[in-house]
């Protein structure tokens, strides 16, 4: 391992996984920058990775629970003891025919991540810890276009031509919602003559850079896009050539019939944007050389399946699929499979994901990334017995966190926990680790190997990126992949005949004529440096069953979702008089939602940046009516929870909305967290017990919970 100089690797302060360079001095990290070879930039979170690496709260040895779940009392144990506890439990689960009752929460850095391989080989399931709205959006793209778009990935802004239009619907690219390269590329495109349009109830940093800010009602984006589609079709502004060639026969006529009454005037009443503005943007988009839309994990996805559907139809009628400046489709890197390839259990047959009271209606859908909140239902039902968590914080940052906490503490008639084993890999103690039976000290992203080849980086198109150790891990830290490989060798050895993670990656790279060592020598990056636009022309069509775009979803006719519905989330309608404001959980560049490593980072939690705590944003005119002044302590209540926090008055938010930064409220962490800030999830109704609509619309009530504010 080198001791000095710049080393290329990959950031993981958030899930964008930007390519970075790390400067070492005598084996110590001194500086972090974006890697220019991979169009990489580093954001403030990325640069604060140095604080994470040398944090005094880093865990360095395995811990075993001594008190009750939730008390957070532990004693140190050896790796042998920890691994034996996990192995024995997983062996007994498999022996009684319940391997499918294992789930691991983790972010899949690749679809052949060693953790995922273990789950497939053993017979358990992955829960990706990604938001449900993301899942809805991805499913919409698969259904219409036959491919997962680069769902972390906005349109390749660096390819937007002069006069192209960039629409960001709640994206917060300048607010640090992933992809440190995006802001520079957007500004470059603007300098080339492209136009930036931001739809957002809050005047964000993105809005400040926009040519046009549209303060839309939260979750009104489906109606807004339907209004634009109607205007484009009614005025013959659609891309006829593209539709004739690439849309399935009959679908466009069905769309025309359906959209007839979704006029800008009618949709304006739902999304609260003037009809003239909907028409103006629609006309501009129809005439522009390209239009790109981005709305990943923003604040707009109240009904993500419907919005994803409207969004993909809009891209189709304007001919903006897989073109420069439009929506790229994935171009998977051809990695060599590691034989034998395990086949995972059938999700539909054995998954706990189809659980709870929506089980029947849920069978109509094909969400691939089920939300964490089902875990609570699955534990209650006896469908989830072992949970292994890494790089996720369900006890704090996921919707339904209270229900999750209650469920993991639930006992049976013999006073035994219904969830038999809860393991959490952690870099430092988190809210979730308080509930774990075993807390395992993970390696940071500066200390481990990982091969990233999925197309969800903004930085480049098809390619392979190497995350490599640049410093030694402290104490007895071991990366979760190493542990899953070890568990694989113990429990399903026929699938784990390779020596370690590096040998596994060597096999995967062989088909490209590469190895981990070669990739290291090449600067940690292989890429043909092409986005491969309009691949459907070369491939004889799209990945849908017909090879054409499917605007009409006949499989969802029975649930009235064959075409996108413009309505707002049902939560809007609950007790409007009693709870007059709509809560928007928004994001900041200083925090990754789930990551304790950003919550408890002194560079990101300080009084200068203003993100030591999270006051509630209230429009000045609304606050005046309530006699609330800037800095006042206020109580905010929803129908299921109550919090106390400071008020921050601003004109940068719609008067009918209030805003709270997501990801605060941790009670764990000595370095910077110290109990400051409040969790938005306390206000958001738990799914499964209070809400049911989100299950089937792929939405999250992070944009639709009604609240009341009192001084």
User: Minimum CB separation from ligand SF4 for residue 598, in Å?
Assistant: 8
When the beta carbons of 181 and 268 are compared against ligand SF4, the nearer one is: 181
Of the candidates 119, 567, 561, 170, the residue with the CA atom closest to the CA atom of residue 366: 561
Provide the minimum distance between the beta carbon of 384 and ligand SF4 in the complex, in angstroms, as a whole number: 30
| Closest distance of CB 522 from ligand SF4, Å | 21
Which residue, 13 or 585, is less far from ligand SF4 as judged by CB?
A: 13
For 659, the 3-state DSSP assignment is strand
Nearer to ligand SF4 (CB atom), residue 172 or residue 550 = 172
Q: How many other C-beta atoms are found inside a 10 Å radius of the C-beta of residue 551?
A: 26
Coil, helix or strand at residue 193: coil
Instruction: Determine contact, residues 154/179, Cβ cutoff 8 Å.
Output: yes
* Minimum CB distance to ligand SF4 smaller for 45 or for 467: 45
The Cα–Cα gap between 144 and 549 comes to 5
| DSSP conformation class of 164 | -
Q: Are 251 and 549 in contact (CB under 8 A)?
A: yes
The single residue listed with the structure tokens 């038999």 is 420
- CA–CA distance, 51 with 48 (Å, rounded to integer): 6
- 47 token code pair: 């640069």
**Is there a contact between 121 and 488 (Cβ–Cβ < 8 Å)?**
yes
Residue 299 vs 683, nearer CB to ligand SF4: 299
Supply angle C-alpha 373, 377, 380, rounded to 5.
140
How far is residue 246's CA from residue 313's CA, in Å, rounded to a whole number?
12
Closest CA to 620 of 664, 663, 652, 575: 652
Q: Least CB distance from residue 614 to ligand SF4, whole Å?
A: 19
Say whether 146 sits in a helix, a strand or coil.
coil
Residues in a beta bridge with 458: none
For ligand SF4, the closer CB: 154 or 308? 154
Least distance (Å) between residue 47 CB and ligand SF4: 8
| Helix (H/G/I), strand (E/B), else coil: 344 | coil
Tokens of 695: 């299950």
Residue 50 CB, shortest distance to ligand SF4, in Å, is 12
User: 145 vs 148, 351, 546, 674, CA distance in Å?
Assistant: 8, 26, 10, 46
Residue 532 C-beta: closest distance to ligand SF4, Å: 23
Q: Indicate the residue among 448 and 708 with the shorter CB distance to ligand SF4.
A: 448
* 327 bridge partner residues: 321
Compare residues 49 and 669 and give the one whose CB is closer to ligand SF4: 49
**Residue 46: CB minimum distance to ligand SF4, A:** 3
Minimum separation from the CB atom of position 42 to ligand SF4 (A): 4
Q: Select 11 or 310, whichever has its Cβ closest to ligand SF4.
A: 11
Kindly report the backbone phi and psi dihedral angles of residue 185, in degrees, each rounded to the nearest multiple of 5, phi listed first.
-70, -35
CA distances (Å), 155 to each of 3, 150, 185, 487, 602, in order? 38, 8, 11, 39, 33
Q: What is the C-alpha to C-alpha distance for residues 340 and 113, in angstroms, rounded to an integer? A: 15
Residue 440 beta carbon to ligand SF4: minimum distance, rounded to whole angstroms: 23
Q: How far is the CB of 274 from ligand SF4 (least distance, A)?
A: 35
Give the residue with the Cβ less far from ligand SF4, 40 or 344. 40
94: its two tokens: 């498999």
**Cβ at position 44, least distance to ligand SF4 in Å:** 7
Residue 12 or 213 having the CB closest to ligand SF4: 12
State which H helix or E strand residue 585 sits in. Answer: strand 581-586
Which residue's CB is nearer to ligand SF4, number 76 or number 184?
184
Count Cβ neighbours within 10 Å for each residue of 577-587 and write b for 16 or more, e otherwise.
Answer: eebebbbbbbb
Q: Cβ of residue 570: shortest distance to ligand SF4, in angstroms?
A: 33
| Helix, strand, coil share (%) of the chain residues, nearest 5 | 35, 15, 50
The least distance separating ligand SF4 from the CB of residue 13, rounded to whole angstroms, comes to 3
**DSSP letters along 533-556, please?**
--HHHHTTS-SSTTSSB--S-GGG
CA distance 352 to 384: 7
State the minimum distance, in angstroms, from the CB of residue 34 to ligand SF4.
7
Decide if 169 contacts 293 (C-beta within 8 A).
Answer: yes
User: What is the DSSP code (8-state) at residue 524?
Assistant: S
Residue 173 or 707 having the CB closest to ligand SF4: 173
- Residue with the CB atom nearest ligand SF4 in the bound state: 46
CB of 523 to ligand SF4, least distance (A): 18
State which residue, 21 or 270, has the beta carbon closest to ligand SF4.
Answer: 21
Residue 263 in tokens = 């006029």
Q: How far is the CB of 589 from ligand SF4 (least distance, A)?
A: 8
**Residues 158/189, Cβ–Cβ less than 8 Å:** yes
d(CA 470, CA 458): 23
**441: phi then psi, degrees, rounded to nearest 5:** -75, 110
Nearer to ligand SF4, 40 or 62 (CB): 40
Nearer to ligand SF4, 19 or 145 (CB): 19
Q: Name the residues that contact ligand SF4, by CB under 6 A.
A: 11, 13-14, 16-18, 42-43, 45-46, 178-180
- Residue 81, CA distances (Å) to 61, 62, 543 in order: 12, 9, 48
Give the length of the chain.
711
* Nearer to ligand SF4 among residue 130 and residue 180 (C-beta): 180
Q: Whole-angstrom Cα distance, residue 322 to residue 360?
A: 36
- What are 424's strand-pairing partners? 389, 439
């Amino acid at each position: 391992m080198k001791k000095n100089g710049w080393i290329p690797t990959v950031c993981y302060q958030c899930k964008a996984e930007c390519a970075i360079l790390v400067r070492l001095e005598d084996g110590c990290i001194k500086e972090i920058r974006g890697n220019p070879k991979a169009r990489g930039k580093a954001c403030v979170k990325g640069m604060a990775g140095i604080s994470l690496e040398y944090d005094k709260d880093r865990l360095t040895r395995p811990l075993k629970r001594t008190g009750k779940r939730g008390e957070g009392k532990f004693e140190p144990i050896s790796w042998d003891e920890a691994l034996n506890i996990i192995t024995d439990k997983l062996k007994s689960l498999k022996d009684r025919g319940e391997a499918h009752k294992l789930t691991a929460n983790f972010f899949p850095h690749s679809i052949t991540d060693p953790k995922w391989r273990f789950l497939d080989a053993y017979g358990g399931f992955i829960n990706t810890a990604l938001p449900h709205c993301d899942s809805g959006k991805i499913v919409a793209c698969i259904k219409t276009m036959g491919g997962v778009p680069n769902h972390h990935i906005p349109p390749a802004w660096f390819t937007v031509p002069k006069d192209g239009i960039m629409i960001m619907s709640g994206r917060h690219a300048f607010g640090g919602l992933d992809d440190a390269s995006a802001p520079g590329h957007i500004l470059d495109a603007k300098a080339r003559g492209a136009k930036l349009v931001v739809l957002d109830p809050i005047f964000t940093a993105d809005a400040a850079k926009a040519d046009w800010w549209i303060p839309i009602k939260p979750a009104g984006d489906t109606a807004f896009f339907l209004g634009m589609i109607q205007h484009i079709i009614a005025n013959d502004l659609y891309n006829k050539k593209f539709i004739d060639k690439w849309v399935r026969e009959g679908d466009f006529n069905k769309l025309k019939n359906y959209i007839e009454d979704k006029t800008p005037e009618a949709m304006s009443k739902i999304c609260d944007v003037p009809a003239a503005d909907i028409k103006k943007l629609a006309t501009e988009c129809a005439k522009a050389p390209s239009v790109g839309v981005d709305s990943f994990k923003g604040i707009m996805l109240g009904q993500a399946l419907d919005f994803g559907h409207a969004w993909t139809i809009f891209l189709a009628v304007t001919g903006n699929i897989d073109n420069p400046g439009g929506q790229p489709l994935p171009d998977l890197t051809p990695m060599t499979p590691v034989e034998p390839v395990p086949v995972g259990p059938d999700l539909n047959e054995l998954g706990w994901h189809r659980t709870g009271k929506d089980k029947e209606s849920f069978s109509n859908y094909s969400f691939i990334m089920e939300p964490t909140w089902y875990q609570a239902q699955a534990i209650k039902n006896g469908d989830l017995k072992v949970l292994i968590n890494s790089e996720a914080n369900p006890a704090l940052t996921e919707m339904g966190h209270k229900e999750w906490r209650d469920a993991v503490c639930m006992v049976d008639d013999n006073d035994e926990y219904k969830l038999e084993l809860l393991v959490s890999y952690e870099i430092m103690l988190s809210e979730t680790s308080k509930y774990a039976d075993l807390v395992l000290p993970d390696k940071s992203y500066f200390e481990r190997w990982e091969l990233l080849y999925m197309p969800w980086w903004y930085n480049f198109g098809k390619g392979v990126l190497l995350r490599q150790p640049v410093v030694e891990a402290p104490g007895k830290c071991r990366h979760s992949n190493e542990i899953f490989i070890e568990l694989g060798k113990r429990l399903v050895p026929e699938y784990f005949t390779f020596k370690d993670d590096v040998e596994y990656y060597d096999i995967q790279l062989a088909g490209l004529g590469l190895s981990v060592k070669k990739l290291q020598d090449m600067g940690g990056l292989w890429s043909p440096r092409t986005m491969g636009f309009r691949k459907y022309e070369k491939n004889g069509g799209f990945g849908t069953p017909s090879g054409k775009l499917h605007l009409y979803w006949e499989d969802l006719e029975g649930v009235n979702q064959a075409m996108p519905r413009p309505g707002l989330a049902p939560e809007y309608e609950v007790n409007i008089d009693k709870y007059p404001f709509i809560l928007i959980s928004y994001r900041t560049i200083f925090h990754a939602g789930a990551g304790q490593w950003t919550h408890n980072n002194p560079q990101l939690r300080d009084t200068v940046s203003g993100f030591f705590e999270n006051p509630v944003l209230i429009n000045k005119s609304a606050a005046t009516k309530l006699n609330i002044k800037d800095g006042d302590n206020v109580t905010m209540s929803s129908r299921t929870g109550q919090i106390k926090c400071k008020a921050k008055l601003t004109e940068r938010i719609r008067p009918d909305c209030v805003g709270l930064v997501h990801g605060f409220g941790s009670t764990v962490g000595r370095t910077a967290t110290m109990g400051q800030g409040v969790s938005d999830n306390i206000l958001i109704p738990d799914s499964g017990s209070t809400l049911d609509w989100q299950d089937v619309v792929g939405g999250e009530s992070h944009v639709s919970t009604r609240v009341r504010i009192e001084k």
